[in-house]
Structure 1
Amino acid sequence: MGSTTAQFDTPGQPGPFSPPGQHGQPGQPGQPGTGAFYLPPGYQSSVPPRPKGRGKIVAGVAALVLLVGGLSGGLGGYLGYTFANDSSAVSSLDSPRPASQTSNAAPGSVEEVAAKMLQSVVQIQVVTRSGAGEGSGFVISSNGQIVTNNHVIEGAASGGSIKVVFQDGKTATAKILGRDPSSDIAVIQADGVSNAPVVQLGNSGDLKIGQSVVAIGSPFELSGTVTSGIVSSLNRPVSADGDSPNSQATVLNAIQTDAAINPGNSGGPLVNMQGQVVGINSAIYSPNSARGQAGSVGIGFAIPMDQARRTIDEIVKTGKPKQTVLGVEVREAQDGGAQVSKVTAGGAAEKAGLKEGDVITKFGDRRIDSSDTLVAAVRSKAPGDKVTVTLSDGRTVEATLGGVEVG
């Protein structure tokens, strides 16, 4: 899960951890250099002759020093042992163990949310012809219907296998009930499952910036991982198509959070402090993702549950979700906004009177500063919704949004 870096000394060179003075020093003029730990090849150090007639005296002094040293060492050891076992000293080891804490988690705490949610969050393992991957999901029906991201299971759509691992370690094979690549939502069915604990779905429209949230999933195959943070922003237009950053095929109208979201968290729930699912964790911002598997930098994105719920319901009931459309293709406008580059014949935009070259600056009450913002705003609505569209020249038109079957 990580790597360590070791620094090695180069032979004959000072190492970073060597004390001063342990390397060769220059010799006197006419002599080779010597050192405390090595000598130049063939160098013989000169040893001064031993003085005569003092050997016995030196030996006697040495013996006396050893005797005194031994007595001092014994006395010091005894005193040290006595002080260490002084009955008046206070030791943490003598304190009684604290009583086991059996009280329930505080209401609205991360602990309480985790205890409520973990049993309903699963790990999803996918094997395809081209390789294997994994993600997360959460159970929405006791017979094993599970919500996840489309990008987690899309590899199995053209031939592959899906396995679900529940929190208690039980496993089940699964099949795809339906999926919507444009919203990055999918529903799978786990086989042979009954009485599975289900999540409670919340209202993402009630979220406020700064509100506490919890993310649960299987980052880097670490199932049942719980992280916490806040709602950093709302209605953030995010392209989840990592391979085509300029594509509008998958643009999310996302909840931004600083709760840690990593590879493997995709498809897991973002939960409020009442234990209700308010979003589906789907994407992260990672500036160095091109160098390898991206990790959390505190900027994660989740699909709002109010938007996802409609798609999930359509998949469960019909297997064919509908994508909300305005009936235009757009690009960035030079002075801000979304410029219409193409109008779909018979679509909502044409019926409302929009034409090629029009620049959309407002969609309902939402300011439009880019083409992605408009795409995200449209997809946050449902087919049949009526919206006022404001143009850069001050004109407004009323559009009734259409729907296109996907999946």
Structure 2
Amino acid sequence: MATPPPPPPHNHDWSRVNWPAPPNPLPHNPTPWPNQAPPHGGPRPSRRDRRSRTPRALVAAGAAAVAIAGGGIGAAAAVAVTDHQQTVATPPAAVRTQPVKPAADAAPGSVEAVAAKVMPSVVKIQIAAGQGVAEGSGIVLSPDGLILTNNHVVAPLANGAGGGTGAQPAAFDGGDASATVTFSDGRSVPFTVVGTDPTGDLAVVHAEGVSGLTPITFGSSKDVKIGQEVVAIGSPLGLQGTVTKGIVSALNRPVAAGDGEGSSPVVLDALQTDAAINPGNSGGPLVDMNGDLIGVNSAGASMGSGSGGGSIGLGFAIPSDQAKRIADELVSSGTATHGSLGVQLGMQNDTANDAANAADVDGAVVAQVAPGSPAAQAGLSDGSVITKINDQVIDGPEALAAAVRSKAPGDQVSITYRDASGALRTAQVALGTA
């Protein structure tokens, strides 16, 4: 079991929704896959079973560290792992570089047809430096080389990002970084960072000197239903063009995943799938059976014991509606915005919430409301317990942070909450800017 690390700072800004660390916080300097300790994030167990919760770990699924001479560079921070790092063998060069050629004449709605449509829009991202190589996946946004991926995949290169194209690979341990994208036809070209969003764990990069690429077709994640079939495509462990199939197993799942910079975890309002998501899948597409993007694969869960750190059928993806909005902002300005409610959250058994505790209410306990904030304007006060955002049940602080940060500034939301006296109330509020 990992030694518990220091919790996120008390005043850390979670899109202006803050809460203390859970009992089993994350390591400060995690290593990539495979041995994990219990995560924080994910669904809150009921009060009756919180003590018996099965340990599980959420890990950043992108930029798998591929050892070259004694370990990878660890570009994508894994989440809730021990200090022990296991080497992942590099696949044979012939396997890693050959063009991917899916079936072209498959039945509509089949996995073969989906792969044939989507594969040209998926790339492998590779960052090499000194003694290691890190790999992830990406999604083609434009014919001239704009590519969407996770922030934790490109975090080592993003020091110069923040406005427009042209950020060059930054130097880090082991020497200068070499950053390339490889397309499904086998071509590899350098890329630069356009913009990054650590809060939403998304980034846009630009592949140099390319044209005529096939952009992904965006679907609408708001139309996704539990149980519908999906396909994930990416480069797990560097194996480009890997296709896995599953279903959407849950919606609005709050998931804590590493931001790739060794700091506090990102909390995602994720789609959950049982399609296999492994290290190297991060930044790749989760698509419906029409081949339309409904999510950006970002994290996977592991049982957290032994060396069997692969997929256990719990993968998580950033919804496509959120990903598209953030990608558009990154392309236009190099930065992204997120909604803000203007509250600081307390622990579930906070003394400020005695009335709600007496009623055994699950929710996000408001420890403090910022003066003049959207929450204050909606009538919330210290001691309120938020239980819903629109129709989405809020069963804890992670769920509230994920729900609020997934929305845009100015979005109108309905907040259901219990005030300090325990009375149930509903208010309409326009979110501020984080």
CA offsets per residue over residues 45-103 of structure 1, 9 Å max, x none? xxxxxxxxxxxxxxxxxxxxxxxxxxxxxxxxxxxxxxxxxxxxxxxxxxxxxxxxx99
**Structure 1 residue 272: Cα displacement:** 0.5
Residues in 1 aligned to 2:124 and 2:216: alpha-carbon distance in whole angstroms: 15
Structure 1 residues 358, 243: CA separation in 2 closer, same or farther (over 3 Å shift)? farther
Alignment of 1:47-66 (within 5 A): none
Show the counterpart of 2:268.
252
Show the counterpart of 1:383.
409
Residues in 1 aligned to 2:104 and 2:301: alpha-carbon distance in whole angstroms: 39
Matched, 1:144 2:145: yes
Show the counterpart of 1:188.
205
Task: State the secondary structure of the residue aligned to 2:302.
Answer: coil
Alignment of 1:190-205 (within 5 A): 190-205=207-222
**Structure 1 residue 104: Cα displacement:** 2.1
Residues in 2 aligned to 1:171 and 1:292: alpha-carbon distance in whole angstroms: 32
**Structure 1 residue 352: Cα displacement:** 2.3
**Structure 1 residue 190: Cα displacement:** 0.6
Residues in 2 aligned to 1:130 and 1:373: alpha-carbon distance in whole angstroms: 39
Show the counterpart of 1:327.
342
**Structure 1 residue 350: Cα displacement:** 2.5
Show the counterpart of 1:368.
394
Alignment check: 8 A CA contact 2:136 2:283 kept? yes
Alignment check: 8 A CA contact 2:230 2:246 kept? yes
Shift >4 Å, 4+ stretches: 128-131, 242-247
More helix by share: 1
Task: State the secondary structure of the residue aligned to 1:201.
Answer: coil
**Structure 1 residue 320: Cα displacement:** 1.6
**Structure 1 residue 333: Cα displacement:** 2.1
**Structure 1 residue 379: Cα displacement:** 2.2
Residues in 1 aligned to 2:212 and 2:263: alpha-carbon distance in whole angstroms: 44
Show the counterpart of 1:313.
328
Matched, 1:396 2:426: yes
Alignment check: 8 A CA contact 1:333 1:359 kept? no
CA offsets per residue over residues 346-396 of structure 1, 9 Å max, x none? 322223232222211122222211111111211232211122222222123
Aligned length, in residue pairs: 301
Show the counterpart of 1:64.
none
Residues in 2 aligned to 1:204 and 1:350: alpha-carbon distance in whole angstroms: 31
Structure 1 residues 358, 124: CA separation in 2 closer, same or farther (over 3 Å shift)? same
Alignment check: 8 A CA contact 1:128 1:155 kept? no
Residues in 1 aligned to 2:375 and 2:263: alpha-carbon distance in whole angstroms: 23
Greater relative contact order (CA < 8 Å, ≥ 6 in sequence): 2
CA offsets per residue over residues 159-198 of structure 1, 9 Å max, x none? 1442111111111111111111111111000111111111
Residues in 1 aligned to 2:296 and 2:311: alpha-carbon distance in whole angstroms: 16
Show the counterpart of 1:5.
none
Task: State the secondary structure of the residue aligned to 1:229.
Answer: strand
Show the counterpart of 1:262.
278
Equivalent residue for 1:284, pick from 300, 303, 317: 300
Alignment of 1:102-251 (within 5 A): 104-128=105-129, 131-158=132-159, 159=170, 160-241=177-258, 249-251=265-267
Alignment check: 8 A CA contact 1:219 1:262 kept? yes
Structure 1 residues 326, 147: CA separation in 2 closer, same or farther (over 3 Å shift)? same
**Structure 1 residue 287: Cα displacement:** 2.0
Unaligned runs of 5+ in 1: 1-101
Alignment check: 8 A CA contact 1:163 1:172 kept? yes
Counterpart of 2:211 in structure 1: which amino acid? Answer: S
Residues in 2 aligned to 1:395 and 1:327: alpha-carbon distance in whole angstroms: 18
Equivalent residue for 2:385, pick from 359, 373, 391: 359
Show the counterpart of 2:61.
none
**Structure 1 residue 112: Cα displacement:** 0.4
Percent identity, aligned pairs only? 52
**Structure 1 residue 245: Cα displacement:** 12
Alignment check: 8 A CA contact 1:127 1:156 kept? no
Task: State the secondary structure of the residue aligned to 1:322.
Answer: coil
Structure 1 residues 371, 176: CA separation in 2 closer, same or farther (over 3 Å shift)? same
Alignment of 1:338-349 (within 5 A): 338-349=364-375
**Structure 1 residue 119: Cα displacement:** 1.3
**Structure 1 residue 128: Cα displacement:** 5.0
Residues in 2 aligned to 1:243 and 1:119: alpha-carbon distance in whole angstroms: 27
Task: State the secondary structure of the residue aligned to 1:223.
Answer: coil
What do you get for the CA RMSD once the two structures are aligned? 2.3
**Structure 1 residue 260: Cα displacement:** 0.7
Alignment check: 8 A CA contact 1:200 1:276 kept? yes
